[in-house]
Structures are given as structure tokens and as C-alpha cells.
Amino acid sequence: MADERIIDWDDQITNDGEYSGEESTILPEGNYPFEVIKTEQSWYNGSAKIPACNMAKVFLRVDGGSLGKALCVENIYLIERLEWKAAAFLRSIGLKKHGEPTKWRQLVHCDGETGRCRVYVEEYTGKDGTTKQTNRVKNFFDKEEAVAKKAFTKGAF
């Protein structure tokens, strides 16, 4: 990051739309650790299945170890029917516990948090008509309660 050039508003755009950021790989289905690299508040215009509503865009860097890293973008719609997904995500990063309420705003204040999830490979048709693949999150796993928080007592089991 030290040699990253800061662009001024009056500079010319010379990149023709080719993504030149962090490389992303397609991971096989499995359980992996992730880090929240960015969150955004957004608006979803609605569809046949989901009404127009607020939405959190959550950008995850999923670490496949020697397989590489994948970028997953998850949309969490702020509607009652899909509240379970927000709760599962927040539990996976330790910002919510079962049975305890929390604010929706937590969804966009969690950059840098870590957790575990199960990803799968989704195929889609790109704008150019070719079949492409991306990783999507199938489910989030609750952050493990640290057993180490218990004080060690010699001879106690």
C-alpha cells in the first residue's frame, strides 16, 4: 500500500475497466475462515421475490490457505423474512449471541472482523454471454465461545 498512487479528481482515467486489485480465486465448496474487508449501506430496488428495501453489502476475503483467497460479496436484505441471515452473519463474527437482540446497524460497522463460513461455487452468465463462476456463502458458523476464558485450576477437570 505504501506505493499506492493517490488519484486527483482532475486526473485522467486510463484503465479500460480491467480489475487490477487483489487476485481472487474460485475455492471448491468447503468451510473456510473469512475476514470482513468492507461493508456498505445500500438500497435494493426490489424484484419478484424481495421488495425494495435497505441492504448491506458485505465484502468478505475468504482464506483457502494454499488454494488462494476468494472475494465473496454477500447482500443482506433488511426485511423480516431474511433476518436470520443477518443474525447468522453477526453471530459468526461474534457481534451477536443467540437470544440477544442487536441493531441492524451492526451490519455496516464490522470491517476487520473475522469468522468462518461454508462457501460453494455458483455459475452465472456474464455480461459478455459467457458462463462464469464465483464463490457464494452457503452459511455462516457461530463464533466459537473461547474455552480458554475459563480459568485453569490445577487438578480440576
Q: Is residue 133 part of a domain?
A: yes
Predicted confidence (pLDDT) per residue in 15-39, tens digit? 555 444 556 899 999 999 999 999 9
- The answer for residues whose C-beta is within 8 angstroms of residue 24's C-beta and 6 or more apart is 68, 69, 70, 71
Q: Is residue 151 part of a domain?
A: no
Q: Is residue 41 part of a domain?
A: yes
The domain in which residue 88 lies consists of: 30-144
Q: Is residue 42 part of a domain?
A: yes
Predicted confidence (pLDDT) per residue in 43-99, tens digit? 999 999 999 999 999 999 999 999 999 999 999 999 999 999 999 999 999 999 988
The pLDDT confidence band at residue 13, using thresholds 50, 70 and 90, is: low
Q: Is residue 21 part of a domain?
A: no
Describe the chain by its helix, strand, coil percentages, rounded to 5.
15, 35, 50
The pLDDT confidence band at residue 5, using thresholds 50, 70 and 90, is: low
Q: How high is the pLDDT of residue 157?
A: 47
- The answer for residues whose C-beta is within 8 angstroms of residue 82's C-beta and 6 or more apart is 50, 76
Q: Is residue 76 part of a domain?
A: yes
Domain count, the chain: 1
- The answer for residues whose C-beta is within 8 angstroms of residue 133's C-beta and 6 or more apart is 26, 121, 122, 123, 124
Q: Is residue 113 part of a domain?
A: yes
Q: Is residue 63 part of a domain?
A: yes
